[in-house]
Structure 1
Amino acid sequence: MDLVTAIVPMRHSSERVPGKNYRPLGGLPLYQHVVTTLLATPGVGEVVIDTDSETILEEAARVFPSVTLVERPAHLRDGHTPMNAVLEHSIGHAHYEAILQTHSTNPFVRAETFEAAIRRFFDSEGIDSVFGATRIQGRLWTEDLTAVNHDPAVLARTQDLAPIYLENSCFYVFSKATLRDGGNRLGKSPAIVEVDALEATDIDVETEFRLAEIIEASQLFGVR
């Protein structure tokens, strides 16, 4: 069976939601949700946490003894450092050639969804990378009021509009060679794996953390 190394990069500090990566969600630090899911995904052969956080390094070593912990070097710790640069460092600690990168801020992505992305990468011809995206079927406009995906003179039903996909950062699957050769986790021939908007919930601001708490309390994604 083809396997991937799953990489979860996370910083200790967060400007908009202080301490969010290790802030409790449903009784567990936020990052533990996605790591637990990755460990339950059949196509994930190993999990790597890349972080500058002593809190996460110490705790994860105890809770997840099978996970590889990588302390991020000082020159990659600035919040403006491009993710591709961080990943170029992280893949040096990966056993497998294929990489799945995700975020601690996507706590509700299912193991089945990660597995679908991995299988799409390995089983589809002519693609060199996979990313998660959420379908949008609504009337979209640019800031200067140009209609993007519809004719304002024709009031078509939204369900009849051609869908547009929003890259949601839930996961990226790629090879080490794609990242090293192109400097990007997305290659020249990517493919989309669709993720439902609720499953793709991402935590960037305080209101989104509050929403995640409501979703977790509802147990929509099962007891974890």
Structure 2
Amino acid sequence: MNKTIAIIPARGGSKRIPEKNIQTLGNLPLIGHSIIYAKENKDIIDEVYVSTDNDQIKQIALQFGAKILDRPESISGDLEPTVSALKHVLENIDSDQIENVVLLQPTNPLRPENLLREAFEKFLMNNRDSLFTVSRNHQKFGKIINDKFIPFNYSYGQRSQDLEPLYFENGLLYITKKTLILNDIIISENALPFKVNHIFAQVDIDTQDDLDYAKYLYQKK
């Protein structure tokens, strides 16, 4: 049986919001939202792992029914790529039957209910080795060179609705073959971009303002 597991990387250190991953959103710690989301998709996800270097996060993750992997200090720094934590989990559990990994970031706690189901179906149907969620950006971008603004994705006077579509990686979820992660890759060159048109795609918590916005949306939705 080929398994699919969810991994939630949750470091204890955070510069902008102290103890960010356990800040509350609707009476639940941020990390709790991602664990619950994974658990609610148990027809896809066989096991839920939290990779952390923090005792408080460990306790909360256990309360919500996740399995814990102690993340070594050597891969817990600010500059360490996320793939290091995913690879560490796979190398320290029995991963022989695991085929796919779903990455859920605690800083993206709000996800459309059917997102994983629809994305996973597309992932299997297209036979890709990775998938990531994207959303369209409707802003007019440009560069400033020698104090002059150079439009990047539009011409002066062009209407916003006529812009050539540009998309951003929204961080809601990633699906990746285990073999890729063991080669230090989350998004491959042939990754399938899965388009998400939902207000939750605008939530990626890095600052207090981001958290306040997430709380506003949570109450509203």
Give yes or no for TM over 0.5: yes
Corresponding letter in the other structure for 2:75: L
Corresponding letter in the other structure for 1:73: P
Instruction: Give the match's secondary structure for 1:142.
Output: strand
Q: In structure 2, what is the equivalent of residue 71 of structure 1? A: 70
Number of residue pairs matched by the alignment: 213
Instruction: Give the match's secondary structure for 1:146.
Output: strand
Q: In structure 1, what is the equivalent of residue 80 of structure 2? A: 81
* Alignment of structure 1 residues 1-224 onto 2, 5 Å: 4-41=4-41, 42-64=43-65, 67-92=66-91, 93=93, 94=95, 96-125=98-127, 127-144=128-145, 145-152=149-156, 155-181=157-183, 183-196=184-197, 198-200=199-201, 201-218=203-220, 220=221
Instruction: Give the match's secondary structure for 2:36.
Output: helix
Corresponding letter in the other structure for 1:22: I
Between 20-29 and 79-88, the greater mean CA deviation after superposition: 79-88
Instruction: Give the match's secondary structure for 1:44.
Output: coil
Per-residue CA distance 1:29-51 (angstroms, 9 max, x = gap): 11101111111123222111111
Residues 136 and 2 of structure 1, relative CA distance in 2, 3 Å threshold:
farther
Quote how far apart the aligned CAs of 1:159 are.
1.6
Instruction: Give the match's secondary structure for 1:11.
Output: coil
Q: What RMSD in Å do the two structures reach over aligned CA positions?
A: 1.9
Output the CA distance in 1 between the equivalents of 2:176 and 2:61: 25
Residues 161 and 34 of structure 1, relative CA distance in 2, 3 Å threshold:
same
Residues 63 and 177 of structure 1, relative CA distance in 2, 3 Å threshold:
closer
Q: TM-score, normalized by length of structure 2?
A: 0.89
Residues 62 and 138 of structure 1, relative CA distance in 2, 3 Å threshold:
closer
Corresponding letter in the other structure for 1:204: D
Matched residues, percent identical?
25
Deviation >6 Å, runs of 4+ = none
Unpaired segments ≥5 residues, structure 1: none
Output the CA distance in 2 between the equivalents of 1:39 and 1:16: 29
Instruction: Give the match's secondary structure for 2:121.
Output: helix
Quote how far apart the aligned CAs of 1:98 are.
0.5
